[in-house]
Chains A and B, each alone.
Chain A
Amino acid sequence: MASPAPFIRRDRLWHPPQFAPGYKTSVLRSPRRALLSLEAALGELSGPKFGHDMLAHDDNDLIRNHMVSGEAVGERIIVHGRVVDENARPVPGTLLEVWQANAGGKYRHVNDHYKAADDPNFGGCGRCITDADGHYYFRTIRPGPYPWRNNGSDWRPAHIHVSVFGEAFAQRLVTQMYFEGDPLIPLCPIVNTIPTLAARNMLIAQLDMGAMVPFDSLAYRFDIVLRGRRQAFFENRTEGL
């Protein structure tokens, strides 16, 4: 097979810097040397292929997939959107994983000791694979905000963590999705690790009344853009790889 086309360079001034002292944990966990910038090889231009056979039927339904005695408590929502690349091409068949706190802002995690109540019917874990057009959706409850130790008690806005693979390891992305209108967004030290308002706004899901389920769930739209492939003009491409 011919070597796949390389990717457009990641704009690291658009992403949050590793050293972002407003988010204190980053101080000791950020490399100080410059990254080594190189053209990608096959190991970066390819990536794992996950099939639908790995999914259980309710993996994308967080209201029911960890149910013990009934459905999860909270504001019922659909989250949906498209995964595309920087060239606006859909990214089909890619695995998307999500995790979040419950409606009271408590995570189902052995290390979370926040005083808000657990919801025995909510795990906060979901996943799905994008369709041929790059579209995905899942159903959940809106997570609650919660306090964390940073500058005394800072508060996280309501958010859902999102992990996406793309078709190549170079496209891998983990981020967080916020909700339109949440007054905690501009106060959040983690949101504010991202340098520009335009970039921060890409993480805010919009209320989507056209996608709500009548008498059941509100809907939010969250589109995701992964790195796109560069067009390779007159480049020496290795044949027969």
Chain B
Amino acid sequence: MPVERLKETPSQTAGPYLHIGMLPAQAGLKLRSQERLNVLTSAGVEGERIRIEGSVYDGAGVPVRDAQIEIWQADSKGRYNAPGFLGWGRAGADFSTGTYFFETIRPGATPWPDGRMQAPHLSLLVFARGINLHLHTRLYFDDEGDANTADPLLNAIELAPLRQTLVARREMRGQQIVFRFDIHLQGEKETVFLDM
């Protein structure tokens, strides 16, 4: 008999009312109404300000308007848990448009387990009604061309065109840098999801 460890508690969907516990103001609660978990920047945080924006789409191409996205990232120098920068954020898709957004900074590069450098990226989790175990993916930046070409994780995606599903597209909106990142749960444009 193999050695037995404890088994992990099984996941269940976060359901349609996940906002009550995780984004109470969006649910309509008066608790913690000043909380803005999708804004990672504050005056003292160094780094290039960026906005990340997109939608989550289901297999019929319909926006998932009850989705929640969480991000986890390094600071501009490539440090996780750096003093003064939480590095974590959470956003709910808008109930009418399905759009989510974050205001954050562009992360610095961090190493792969073998010591090679990875391209700057965010880790990203998707929760929603109908998702039985949260989906894990990454967001890379389309203006980091050389770093993306050398990135160990992107290169591990055998079908090269699918690498683009992890790359956010830069657009300018006035003075603001916006990276558009749509997530497709299913279908031809299906995002690459990770098991790590």
Contacts and interface: CB of A to CB of B under 8 A. Distances in A.
Interface of A: 3, 6, 8-12, 14-18, 20, 23, 25-33, 35-44, 46-49, 65-66, 84-88, 97-100, 107-112, 123-127, 161, 163, 169-170, 172-176, 190-191, 193-194, 198-200, 202-203, 224-228, 236-238, 241
A138 B88 CA distance: 25
Given A33-B192, A127-B21, A39 B127 contact: no
A126 B127 CA distance: 19
Interface in B99-123: 110-115, 118, 121-123
B132 interface: yes
A202 B31 contact: no
Contacts of A43: 72-74, 80, 110, 121-123, 138
A14 B190 contact: no
Interface in B47-73: 58-60, 62, 64, 66, 70, 72-73
Contacts, number: 256
B127 A174 contact: yes
29 contacts: A9-B195, A12-B133, A16-B11, A18-B132, A25-B13, A29-B128, A31-B186, A31-B190, A31-B193, A35-B193, A35-B194, A37-B194, A39-B113, A43-B73, A46-B72, A47-B88, A48-B72, A48-B86, A65-B31, A66-B30, A110-B28, A127-B21, A161-B21, A163-B22, A174-B14, A199-B10, A202-B9, A203-B9, A228-B6
Nearest to A196: B10
B190 A38 contact: no
Contacts of B149: none
B29 interface: yes
Given A36-B157, A190-B12, A190-B13, A44 B6 contact: no
Contact of A15 (B30, B110, B133, B193): B133
Interface of B: 5-22, 24, 27-31, 58-60, 62, 64, 66, 70, 72-74, 80-81, 86-88, 95, 110-115, 118, 121-123, 125, 127-135, 138, 153, 156-157, 185-186, 190-196
B12 A203 contact: yes
Contacts of A46: 72, 80-81
Nearest to A38: B196
Given A49-B81, A86-B7, A238-B111, A23 B193 contact: no
Q: Is the interface of B mostly helix, strand, loop or mixed?
A: loop
Contacts of A86: 5-8
B8 A109 contact: no
Contacts of B16: 109, 111-112
A41 B130 contact: no
Nearest to A165: B88
Contacts of B58: 28-29
Given A99-B18, A99-B22, A161-B21, A3 B7 contact: no
Contact of A32 (B28, B110, B129, B186): B186
A118 B112 CA distance: 51
Nearest to B5: A86
A104 to B, nearest CB: 15
Nearest to A126: B21
Nearest to B80: A46
Contacts of A47: 72, 88
Given A48-B72, A175-B11, A125 B21 contact: yes
Determine which residue in B12, B86, B114 has the highest number of CB atoms from chain A within 10 A of its CB, and name it: B12
Contacts of A127: 21
Determine which residue in B8, B112, B130, B153 has the highest number of CB atoms from chain A within 10 A of its CB, and name it: B8
Contacts of B15: 161, 176
A14 B8 contact: yes
